[in-house]
Structures are given as structure tokens and as C-alpha cells.
Amino acid sequence: MGTQRGLTSRRRLLLGLGAPLLLGAAGLGYAVWPEEESAEKVRTDVGPLNRRFWTALGDVSDAHWLGYNIDESDSERTVPGPDVRMRLVGTAHLKRGSANRITRDPAHHFEVKPLSAVPGPLQPYIPASAGWRQSDTYDKRALEEGLNVVPSGTFSFDGIRDLVYFDFVFYYA
């Protein structure tokens, strides 16, 4: 009977120590578990950008961008309605010399313009000394080819860094 009592005491001791350790491990696991993606998660994949903008820009690299439904908050994840407005905004590098080639095209009058309303998560990827150039005619021509949606927005180019900043809303009706 003495050995039985010793086993019971050890089990109680292990249970008494094990339960708090398990709860602590579960709490730590919850604290470090990755959160769901939101509109604020900066994406770096270039596939969607190359498919969307290839005719206007060619292949891009080193991208930092956001893509989200501007009419849906993070708390109301629902089935999209018939009218969806998706915003694509971010930066990407172009092939060497592409930004200068685009901005020197005489068919478009590019002007120096500052960027407007850069989302907070993208601020670290926007060079402070960039000389952004925009052209309304370039934006219109670049976006009319091969799209089955109504886009609005701008491309801005920095020729020194071969960098493009894009900010578009695509309306899917």
C-alpha cells in the first residue's frame, strides 16, 4: 500500500506542476500566433502586379504594396457584393532605365508632383528625396489596355531609382 501512496503523490505533484506549465505554453502560443492578413499587411509578391501592370510597366521587382476592398472593414468579412472597389497601392522597381524611358516619352507630358495620401504601412518604402513625375495622359493610356474593369488612379515615377509608385482603385461592376 505504501508504493501505491507514493505513486499517487507523484501523480498529484506532476499534475500540480504540469497544468500551470501547459496553460503557460498555451498562452505563449496564442501570443505569438500570426494574425490574419488585413489591409495593413504589406505584400511583397510581384505576380499580381506583373499580371495587372505588365503592358504599362514591364516586369517589376522588389515590390511593397497593399491590396484591399476599400468598402469593407476588417471586422466585416463578407461575400463581396456585385460592386467591388479594390485599391492597389505601393511601390516597385522597374528594369534599369525604364522610368526615364517612360517619363521622356513626348506623347505624355510628365510633371513633378508629390505623392498624396501614402498609407502608413508603406511610408518606410518611400524615399524622402524621390522626384516623382506623373502624367494624366500616360495613366489613361496605360490602363485602358486589356482591363475589363474601370480603373482610376496614378503611376508616379522616380527616374533616379527606377521606382514606380502606383495608387489605383479598380471598380468591378
pLDDT digits (tens, 9 = 90+) for 125-146: 999 999 999 999 998 888 775 5
How confident is residue 169, by pLDDT bands cut at 50, 70 and 90? confident
Burial 131-164 (b: 16+ CB within 10 A, else e): ebbbbeebbeebbeeeeeeebeebbbbbbeebbb
Closest CA to 90 of 154, 22, 170, 3: 154
First to last CA, the chain: 79
In angstroms, how far is CA 78 from the centroid of its own chain?
20
pLDDT of residue 108: 93
CA distances from 60 to 22, 45, 119 (A): 47, 10, 20
Percentage, residues of the chain above pLDDT 90 = 46
How confident is residue 170, by pLDDT bands cut at 50, 70 and 90? confident
Domain boundaries, the chain: 1-33, 47-172
- Where are the alpha helices (H) located in the chain, listed in sequence order? 2-32, 47-57, 98-103, 136-144
Q: Is the pLDDT of residue 17 over 90?
A: no
pLDDT of residue 171: 75
pLDDT digits (tens, 9 = 90+) for 20-48: 554 554 554 444 444 444 457 999 999 99
What value does the mean pLDDT of the chain take?
79
> What mean pLDDT is predicted for residues 95-104?
95
How confident is residue 159, by pLDDT bands cut at 50, 70 and 90? very high
How confident is residue 99, by pLDDT bands cut at 50, 70 and 90? very high
Helix (H, G, I), strand (E, B) or coil at 6: helix
Distance, CA of 128 to CA of 124 (rounded, Å): 9
